[in-house]
Structure 1
């Protein structure tokens, strides 16, 4: 663990992504204790108030301004981060569980099982993921639960392809052949010997998938198929504020920046993790 953080500290982009992501997570976790206004509280007398700052480090009552209903934009961004990140994290975990399972079984069993499972992956890859998500959400209705399932459904295929490739090389290793020789069952080999060795690439995929799912969550919410009002959502904030962009730029600018910095931090950290766990690059460090 110490060597991990030492290596991270030597990489500026990876460290910047890590610090930014930690800050965002802390804001999402401890936002309710910051004394912010309730994110759903409206005040039409304060609608579309610009950001107020009495000094560089002295924010006013509405540092990011208010929206068309007089709700505090900063409060909605922080509370919205809890919803957005929770949805993305759960979808990443669910997609990872399914994808890793598919990849391990396909790579280890081979033959007809491999061909059948990979055809399922190929069929889904041939479908536009956003169109698939739109069809599913439109058919079953917009809700947080359906949104999580849709995002997980569009995520598992990337795990499956990468994990399968890892397993194809692992199953020819001596420790796998030795387990075969002593009579270990196929399931025992997959879960006791192969699974621990594919968790690292799965972690890298999960990090990069997290950024993609945050964008997809925002896109679906922007189209009205994600998180529903009055719950705050970054994508929904963009949709509600786009008609006021010329007169109240802050309504869409700050949620857009929240998406930008979150995705940027996750991608920076994910790129560094991919390089860190790459055996070829590790031998060069």
Structure 2
């Protein structure tokens, strides 16, 4: 029996039924697919909202430089101490030993720690991408030299050398960012090198070489855009590692120095008050935990979004 006869008899699907069952197919670009997969990762979305909230509150509450914030207390003034300095309506995070508002101090520490974390992520990403791209594309002696340099940096105990460099910076935040950035690029360099070794044998790269395109242009215009997934994911994980590394250095006294503060230095300064005045320890600790977990979850979401194996036929 033909399809037409089946449809007219009432038991076969008609054309209108097929249109209802099979919706109009949609095509998406590679970037659109990445965005769709990322926004389907609930953990990454919650983490992104949490991190955005932390950043907004930290930088708008006490302001930045000459720009004032909405919080009416600053980090320098010692206010009249209420009781033992426990949290009150006037001081929701409590007060430190001499009466300074701990909310303002925690927000300032969050600003500094975020600046260090994102700064280290940027410096580390630039160095790692550059080293990996050069080593993977040119190969040969240059590749061997750069990879041996990478091996040397890897085998050096990170915390020990970071402590030495941190002491040499004298507490200067910008120098500390640069020092930590030049120590944390090795993993990304290896990942980018592997991607470039694969991409340099593709037809579009060989065609560009055949017509005499300069190697720098090939790397920048043809190869690096195809490694963006690896670079972005690695950068987010570096940011998470950087804030923990800065916390460890400041806790040991080799990071941010007074009169400025970071989350790590606040924990270090009030570590002995953990049992008697726990709010002095827990507030900066919770901020570190929120930032590190948020960045890690965002990195997981980006990794799943950029992974081609996550592509579904339903998309």
Equivalent residues of 1:92, 1:209 under 8 A apart? yes
Q: 1: distance between equivalents of 2:251 and 2:80?
A: 23
Query: Structure 2 vs 1, CA of residues 165 and 47 (structure 1 numbering), >3 Å: closer, same or farther?
Result: farther
Per the TM alignment, residue 282 of structure 1 is displaced from its structure 2 partner at its CA by 2.6
Residue 115 of structure 2 corresponds to 86
Task: Name the SS for the 1:116 alignment partner.
Answer: helix
Equivalent residues of 2:109, 2:266 under 8 A apart? no
Residue 100 of structure 1 corresponds to 129
2:52 matches 1:22: yes
Residue 56 of structure 1 corresponds to none
Residue 192 of structure 2 corresponds to 163
Q: 2: distance between equivalents of 1:71 and 1:37?
A: 9
Matches within 5 A, 1:148-159: 148-159=177-188
2:299 matches 1:270: yes
Residue 236 of structure 1 corresponds to 265
Residue segments in structure 2 that go unaligned for 5+ positions in a row: 1-30, 63-68
Q: 2: distance between equivalents of 1:205 and 1:259?
A: 20
Query: Structure 2 vs 1, CA of residues 99 and 217 (structure 1 numbering), >3 Å: closer, same or farther?
Result: same
Q: 1:37 aligns with which of 73, 86, 89?
A: 73
Give the length in aligned residue pairs.
278
Q: TM-score, normalised by structure 1?
A: 0.92
Query: Structure 2 vs 1, CA of residues 21 and 45 (structure 1 numbering), >3 Å: closer, same or farther?
Result: closer
Q: 1: distance between equivalents of 2:37 and 2:171?
A: 43
Q: 1:217 aligns with which of 234, 243, 246?
A: 246
Q: TM-score, normalised by structure 2?
A: 0.83
Q: 2: distance between equivalents of 1:154 and 1:48?
A: 42
Query: Structure 2 vs 1, CA of residues 219 and 44 (structure 1 numbering), >3 Å: closer, same or farther?
Result: farther
Per the TM alignment, residue 3 of structure 1 is displaced from its structure 2 partner at its CA by 5.4
Residue 212 of structure 2 corresponds to 183
Residue segments in structure 1 that go unaligned for 5+ positions in a row: 53-59
Q: Aligned-pair RMSD on alpha carbons?
A: 1.8
Equivalent residues of 1:64, 1:250 under 8 A apart? yes
Q: 1: distance between equivalents of 2:120 and 2:259?
A: 22
Per the TM alignment, residue 40 of structure 1 is displaced from its structure 2 partner at its CA by 2.3
Q: 2: distance between equivalents of 1:126 and 1:15?
A: 36
Residue 158 of structure 2 corresponds to 129
Per the TM alignment, residue 2 of structure 1 is displaced from its structure 2 partner at its CA by 6.3
